[in-house]
Each structure stands twice: as structure tokens, then as C-alpha cells.
């Protein structure tokens, strides 16, 4: 019985240490192809905010939850895979807007499945109200949730959702 109590206490200490570690870790916000053109490319679909505007708003929202942010964009699939793999050890959570790769990339799906932290998929537009080829996302298969159609605000909703998810994991 004493060994059970001791192992329970050791387990609790590990959980507390992990939670403290999670709150010290940043959230990763990863953006895929063409998102560097936000504000210029099809603003009637994607909005007038630039990616820099979104980054600034995400950093402010994350600070409300005590998080720092690693905010990145790449037009290269392999680089996004590398960053998702990096997040396995470095991030408290991940927000991913894989852009067009959402509909095509098994490599991103496999990387996302390897995460032990929650991932929320974000899309500025509502892909279900657009062309049929946009209505399937491989990323969704590995995501805790999907936020789409709310423009730049979707990123802020994702930060709040991740904060609730991470908080719910704490004892």
C-alpha cells in the first residue's frame, strides 16, 4: 500500500512538473503556402489583415494566457513538417493553418499525428463553402479541432480553445 501511495505521489509530481513545463513552453503558430500574401491576395476571401497583423494579435492573446509564441510561415511543405516535429518537444500546443497543403499533404498529417500536444487547425475562409477540392483536410484527422470561416479572428479563437484544453489537462 505504501508503494502505491509513493508511486501515486511520484506520478503527481511528474504531472505537476509537466504542467509547469507546458506553461513555460510557447505555442507554435505555423502557416503554410501563400499566407505571406495575406492582405494582398484575394482580400474578399481571406481578409485585409496581413500575416504580421495576425501575428501581433496572436501574441497579445497568447500573453493573456501566459504563453509566448513561435510564429512562422513557409511555402515549403518539408519546412512545415520540420517545424511540427520540432514542436513535439518544444511547444505547449500548435495552431496550424496549412493553407493548400491541408487538402493534399499526407506528410503534414503524419507529422501532426506524431504530436503529443494539442493541435488546432485554422482556416481564414470556410472551405466547406468553397470549391469541392477544398472540403477535405488531411490535417483535420490529427487535429483536436477545426476553426474556419472567421477570418483572422479564427487564430484568436484557437488560442482561447488551446488554453481551455491545456487547462483542462491540469489536475
The pLDDT tens digits for 60-107 are 999 999 999 999 999 999 999 999 999 999 999 999 999 999 998 999
Provide the 3-class DSSP secondary structure of residue 105. Answer: coil
Residue 10 has a pLDDT of: 52
What pTM was estimated for this model as a whole?
0.83
Across 45-49, average pLDDT: 78
In this structure, are residues 158 and 123 in contact, taking their beta carbons and an 8 Å threshold? Answer: no
Structure-block grid coordinates of residue 40? 494582398
Furthest-apart CA atoms within the chain: distance in Å: 66
Place of cell 505537476: 16
Angle subtended by helix axes 51-64 and 153-169, to nearest 10: 30
- Average pLDDT of the segment spanning 139-152: 94
Q: For domain 22-169, give the CATH number.
A: 3.40.50.9100
Sequence-separated (6 or more) residues with CB below 8 Å from residue 145: 120, 121, 158, 161
> Among 28, 101, 103, 123, which one carries the catalytic annotation?
123
| Domains of the chain by residue range | 22-169
Catalytic: which of 46, 103, 136, 155?
A: 46
136 is catalytic: no
Q: Is the pLDDT of residue 15 over 60?
A: no
Q: Is 121 helix (H, G, I), strand (E, B) or coil?
A: strand
- pLDDT at residue 4, as a whole number: 46
Residue scoring higher pLDDT (44 or 72): 72
Mean pLDDT computed over 107-131: 89
Q: Are 55 and 31 in contact (CB under 8 A)?
A: no
Asked if 103 is an active-site residue, the reply is: no
Amino acid at each position: 500500500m505504501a508503494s502505491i501511495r509513493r508511486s501515486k505521489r511520484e506520478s503527481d509530481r511528474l504531472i505537476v512538473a509537466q504542467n509547469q513545463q507546458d506553461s513555460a513552453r510557447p505555442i507554435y503558430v505555423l502557416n503554410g503556402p501563400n499566407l505571406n500574401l495575406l492582405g494582398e491576395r484575394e482580400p474578399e476571401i481571406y481578409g485585409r489583415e496581413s500575416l504580421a497583423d495576425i501575428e501581433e494579435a496572436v501574441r497579445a492573446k497568447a500573453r493573456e494566457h501566459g504563453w509566448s509564441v513561435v510564429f512562422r510561415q513557409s511555402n515549403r511543405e518539408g519546412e512545415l513538417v520540420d517545424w511540427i516535429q520540432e514542436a513535439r518537444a518544444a511547444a505547449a500546443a500548435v495552431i496550424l493553418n496549412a493553407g493548400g497543403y491541408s487538402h493534399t499533404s499526407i506528410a503534414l498529417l503524419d507529422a501532426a499525428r506524431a504530436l503529443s500536444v494539442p493541435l488546432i487547425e485554422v482556416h481564414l475562409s470556410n472551405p466547406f463553402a468553397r470549391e469541392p477540392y477544398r472540403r477535405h483536410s488531411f490535417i483535420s484527422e490529427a487535429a483536436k479541432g477545426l476553426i474556419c470561416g472567421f477570418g483572422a479572428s479564427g487564430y484568436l479563437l484557437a488560442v482561447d480553445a488551446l488554453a481551455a484544453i491545456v487547462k483542462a489537462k491540469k489536475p
